[in-house]
């Protein structure tokens, strides 16, 4: 009986550990997919160009529309993560939320690769931009985002890496941890 319990325990530990390894691998796959698009720039600076239009088409939108959420949708789709498809940044923060700012002094938790980060824009009165976490850097976060620039503009002209202070983060969602990989 003791041997059976040990065997079951070993199998369970192996299975659970493997699950975490596969989630870790999927996170890295998402980040690599995001990085693969760092060359993308809009054609005329008006939310257009071959790749931008491919991102937008995936979410049922036409060229000329803001595309930060469409880029995130495309990255997750190409990485094999089954999750929402939306160009609207706010849609990514209706489920799988791991953090949402409720007061100014609230500390943002440690972030994981492939989590998504939302930024609130007072002038819009809503979430107005989404990026993918590349890595946590204690008080800041390295990200990759579409329809942005290295300066971090919301209406940028390409896919860029940007480091943001964590104090700017409004919400964080984790669509890798809580979603299933596409078959």
What the chain holds in terms of domains, given with CATH numbers, is 17-173 (3.90.1720)
Which pLDDT score is estimated for 132?
98
Region of 60 (left: φ > 0; alpha: ψ -120 to 50; beta: rest) is left
Cα angle 133-141-127, degrees, rounded to a multiple of 5: 70
**CA-based nearest residue to 175, from 112, 125, 88:** 112
Which pLDDT score is estimated for 105?
78
Cα angle 41-81-16, degrees, rounded to a multiple of 5: 140
Which pLDDT score is estimated for 152?
63
Q: For residues 117 and 34, is the Cβ–Cβ distance under 8 A?
A: no
Each residue's pLDDT expressed in tens, for the chain with a length of 183 residues: 554 544 444 433 344 444 678 999 999 999 999 999 999 999 999 999 999 999 999 999 999 999 999 999 999 999 999 999 999 999 999 999 999 998 877 899 999 999 999 999 999 999 999 999 999 999 999 999 999 877 766 677 899 999 999 999 999 999 999 876 543
């Amino acid at each position: 009986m003791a041997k059976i319990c040990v065997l079951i325990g070993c199998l369970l530990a192996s299975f659970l550990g493997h699950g975490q390894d596969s989630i870790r691998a999927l996170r890295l796959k998402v980040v690599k997919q995001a990085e693969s698009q760092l060359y993308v720039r809009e054609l005329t600076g008006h939310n257009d160009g071959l790749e931008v239009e491919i991102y937008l088409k995936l979410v049922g939108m036409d060229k000329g529309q803001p595309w930060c959420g469409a880029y995130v949708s495309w990255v997750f789709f190409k990485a094999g993560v089954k999750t929402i498809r939306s160009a609207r940044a706010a849609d990514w923060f209706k489920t799988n939320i791991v953090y949402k700012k409720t007061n100014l002094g609230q500390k943002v938790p440690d972030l994981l690769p492939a989590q998504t980060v939302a930024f609130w824009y007072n002038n819009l009165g809503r979430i107005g931009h989404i990026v993918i976490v590349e890595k946590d850097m204690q008080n800041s976060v390295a990200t990759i985002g579409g329809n942005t620039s290295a300066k971090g503009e919301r209406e940028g002209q390409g896919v860029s890496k940007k480091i943001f202070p964590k104090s700017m983060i409004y919400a964080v969602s984790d669509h890798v941890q809580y979603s299933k990989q596409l078959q």
